[in-house]
Amino acid sequence: MGLYDLHQTNQIRKTRAMVNSASDDMLAAKRQTNYELDGVDQRIERLTLICEAMWQLVCETTGLTDEHLAYKLDQLDVSDGRRDMKRQKTSTPCSCGAMVPAKSLLCQFCGAEPPPRSVFDTI
């Protein structure tokens, strides 16, 4: 075996080690992502259960019905101009007159905090 062959064999070994390491890193990242998604699924299931329990309490104490809920849900859904079952966060006017984007904590022009938003905008 010549010197060139030894060099090539060494390069192949190094490349295989790099590929194996990258593959291990990708598997670890995939496991972490799956773990995090499982946690999100559990939180959604718990929130769904809590919402259903609260709705049943509201119905029992106020006489509201599922039709009332469906009507209000539809009103909220179309309030942003689209019927898509999503809640779009809106900009808030600042004391300086600029509009502060929903995801911003401070006005991009004067640096002031915008007026209090709905508690649901913090979710």
A 10 A CB-CB count for 94 gives 20
Give yes or no for residue 51 having a pLDDT over 90: yes
**pLDDT recorded at residue 116:** 79
pLDDT category of residue 122 using cuts at 50, 70 and 90: low
pTM as predicted: 0.55
Average pLDDT over residues 82-91: 84
Confidence of residue 103 (pLDDT cuts 50, 70, 90): confident
Q: Which tokens sit at 36?
A: 């995090």
Q: What is the rounded CA–CA span in Å between residue 123 and residue 63?
A: 29
